[in-house]
Amino acid sequence: MTNQAEITVDTPDDERSKEVRSGRLKRFLENGTPYWFLSPYIIIFGTFGIFPVFFMIFLSFHTWNPVAGLGSMRFVGLENYALSLTDPRLWKTMWNTIAIAVMSGLAQHLVALPMAYLLISLGARARHWLSTAYFLPYVTSTVAVSMIFYIMYSPQSGIINQGLNLLANGTLTSWAFGWIGQFQPIGWLQENSLIRYSISFVVFWKYVGFNIVIYAAGLSTINQELYEAAKIDGASHMQRFRYVALPLLKPFIFFAVTLTIIGNMQLFDEPYVLTRGLQQATSNGMTISNYLYRIGWEWLDMGSAAAVSWILFVVIALFTGLYFWLFGRQGLGGNE
């Protein structure tokens, strides 16, 4: 530092002004440095994040057929919203989405919590192997596993119906399962009354392991002495789970449930593949994202699709908002 100062003092005047100028340039570059580092984010997010949101507002007041080019865009005011909001199929698909989200979501968390509690009661090695197994579906592609489930659900030759047939006709099991025989072949994905359950099961199967791992990690942060103290006070296994583990797990539950709500409300891949992308708009298995895809890319009505996206966004925001309002303070409070 001192060396530099001496050098500056010794330099002649014109050299010095040059240095001041280059210093200014340098300072300008330096002041800009953070923005240079952030420029990829600013450019890409601006293009694919901010612009789309505003464009969606604009588009939802227009009709537009993407095949006919940008010129075919026409202002229609609130017509898209009016049409969408009075479209019974929209509410039907909305209800389907909520039903599947709640069914698969509730099952996921109700199974994952006790499973995680059992898991952490094991030794480290057993815990590791079991969580590796449970987590596997989360890593694999939704499309691939949905293809496999599509085959498993097949009415004539799927393993599920074949297994049920075996149970229904088996000499040892027919007394308990014989009644299933009269419903065969069961169209798990063809029967409108069953399809929601079939889709929900795949969603449950895919994500339950993820929640188990999160809850196990949460439970392992709990100090063992707390359990010990509760035990000394005479708390049973169930009571320790209910009064020690569960309250301390709240921030984890809060986080995991938030992810489930946001993810499940946008469910697309599973129902799309399980129904071969061909189901009727009035089917019970059609989620709102599937419907949105159909409106935009198959019926080529982008304006209405934009309006539907906004409606979906508002519904997701309402659900998450409601959830945050109901549980947010507790959930986050546990973190402190």
Partner 1 sequence: MFQLFENPHYQRGISLAARTVLWAFLLLGVLLTIFPFFWGALLATHDRTTMFSSAFVLTFSDQLFNNYERLIDIMPFWIGMFNSFKIALIGTLVSLLFCSMCGYALAVFKFRGKSAIFTIMICSMMLPPILTLIPYYMIVSAIGLRDTHLAVWLPFVINPFGIFLMRQYVVASIPTALLEAAKLDGASAFRTYWSIALPLLRPGLATLAIVQFVFLWNNFLQPLVILTSTDQMVITQLLRRMQGIPNTPWGAVMLGTTISIIPLICIYLVSSKQMISGLTSGAVK
Binding to partner 1 (CB under 8 A) within 202-261 occurs at 205, 209-210, 213-214, 217-218, 224, 227-228, 231, 252, 255-256, 259
Residue 166 Cβ vs partner 1, minimum distance, rounded to whole Å: 6
Question: Please, which of residues 286-325 interact with partner 1 by CB under 8 A?
Answer: 289, 292-293, 296-297, 302, 305-306, 309-310, 312-313, 316-317, 320
Closer residue to partner 1 (CB): 14 or 184:
184
Closer residue to partner 1 (CB): 13 or 247:
247
Question: Please, which of residues 127-146 interact with partner 1 by CB under 8 A?
Answer: 128, 130-145
Residue 276 Cβ vs partner 1, minimum distance, rounded to whole Å: 5
Residue 56 Cβ vs partner 1, minimum distance, rounded to whole Å: 6
Q: How many CB atoms lie within 10 A of CB 250?
A: 17
**How many chain residues are in contact with partner 1, going by CB under 8 A?**
103
Residues making up the chain, counted from first to last: 336
Among 148, 300, 318, 322, binds partner 1 (CB under 8 A): 148
CA distances from 185 to 77, 214, 263 (A): 50, 39, 33
Residue 86 Cβ vs partner 1, minimum distance, rounded to whole Å: 21
Stretch that binds partner 1, among 7-15, 17-25, 78-86, 150-158 (CB under 8 A): 150-158
Name the one residue in this structure whose structure tokens are 């499940």: 264
Distance CA 204, CA 1 (A): 64
Distance CA 122, CA 85 (A): 52
Q: Is the dihedral of CA 59, 64, 65, 71 positive or negative?
A: negative
Residue 13 Cβ vs partner 1, minimum distance, rounded to whole Å: 25
Distance CA 115, CA 242 (A): 14
Burial classification of residue 203, based on how many CB atoms lie within 10 Å of its CB (0-12 exposed, 13-18 middle, 19 or more buried): buried
Among 2, 25, 175, 276, binds partner 1 (CB under 8 A): 276
Question: Torsions phi, psi of 44, nearest 5?
Answer: -70, -40
59 near partner 1, judged by CB under 8 A: yes
Closer residue to partner 1 (CB): 13 or 221:
221
Which of 189, 208, 218 minimizes the C-alpha distance to 137? 208
Among 262, 319, 323, 327, binds partner 1 (CB under 8 A): 262
Residue 136 Cβ vs partner 1, minimum distance, rounded to whole Å: 6
Distance CA 248, CA 257 (A): 15
Residue 269 Cβ vs partner 1, minimum distance, rounded to whole Å: 5
Stretch that binds partner 1, among 89-97, 98-106, 159-167, 172-180 (CB under 8 A): 159-167
Q: Is the dihedral of CA 266, 271, 273, 278 positive or negative?
A: negative
Among 13, 37, 71, 172, binds partner 1 (CB under 8 A): 37
What are 219's two structure tokens? 């439970």
Among 63, 162, 174, 190, binds partner 1 (CB under 8 A): 162
Question: Please, which of residues 96-125 interact with partner 1 by CB under 8 A?
Answer: 115, 118-119, 121-125
**For residue 117, how far is the Cα from the chain centroid?**
24
Cβ(295)–Cβ(305) under 8 Å? Answer: yes
Burial classification of residue 116, based on how many CB atoms lie within 10 Å of its CB (0-12 exposed, 13-18 middle, 19 or more buried): buried
Question: Please, which of residues 176-205 interact with partner 1 by CB under 8 A?
Answer: 205
Closer residue to partner 1 (CB): 196 or 240:
240
